Chain A
Amino acid sequence: GDSVTQMEGPVTLSEEAFLTINCTYTATGYPSLFWYVQYPGEGLQLLLKATKADDKGSNKGFEATYRKETTSFHLEKGSVQVSDSAVYFCALQYYGNNRLAFGKGNQVVVIP
């Protein structure tokens, strides 16, 4: 079935460092791809999305490009802040389908 795989383990980095979180997907069609963020004690919030191949989603300095050839949607940010500490989830959704398939999430901790 359709699935999303995120890199294992938490990510700890210093303020102003470059962040990359890998996400790959398995799907039989052409899903929309999303990154959701969960701040401590909160629910999930949509961070960015891309609906077709080569689209780039961006928000709050984060970017991710829909790569059909590598079935990837890696999240990047050039200079992280302490306030970016959160759990980041990659997800896919099909057109006309209510269901989101999520990855396991990555805990990101940014140290001052």
Chain B
Amino acid sequence: ETGVTQTPRHLVMGMTNKKSLKCEQHLGHNAMYWYKQSAKKPLELMFVYSLEERVENNSVPSRFSPECPNSSHLFLHLHTLQPEDSALYLCASSQDPGRNTEAFFGQGTRLTVV
């Protein structure tokens, strides 16, 4: 248990569906992240939120829409995804900012787009 909880653990969705991934942390951190982990590729940073404001969006397609309503919760809203979006989506949190800030990861949501 790392203190970062992601739900659901597994999700299968059609290309026309709308779904949301949820991430919750109770570590008192004020930075949260979404990463995409695809087979045989480095982890890709998608979004960074610091103090509930989005501070980074790494050219992620608009079919992925993040939301951070408070410092403990982070959502990733999904719509009209493509099969190549199938991956493990990892949420992480850390203290912001500073050196030696360890990132704590959730267990991830395994997403399959059919």
The chain A residues found within 8 Å of chain B, CB to CB, are 4, 32, 36, 41-46, 49, 51, 89, 93, 95-105
Contact = CB atoms under 8 A, between A and B. Distances in A.
Interface of B: 2, 4, 6, 31, 33, 40-43, 45, 48, 50, 55-56, 90, 92, 94, 96-108
B4 A43 contact: yes
Contact of B94 (A36, A89, A98): A98
A97 B109 CA distance: 25
A104 B45 contact: no
Given A32-B99, A43-B106, A44-B105, A98 B33 contact: yes
Nearest to B50: A98
Contact of A43 (B2, B40, B45): B2
Contacts, number: 63
A8 to B, nearest CB: 10
Contacts of A98: 31, 33, 48, 50, 55-56, 94, 96-97, 101
Nearest to A89: B43
B100 A103 contact: no
Given A45-B2, A45-B105, A105 B48 contact: no
A45 B98 CA distance: 19
Contacts of A4: 42
A8 B4 CA distance: 30
12 contacts: A36-B105, A43-B2, A44-B90, A44-B92, A46-B104, A49-B102, A96-B97, A96-B99, A98-B50, A99-B45, A100-B43, A101-B42
A58 to B, nearest CB: 15
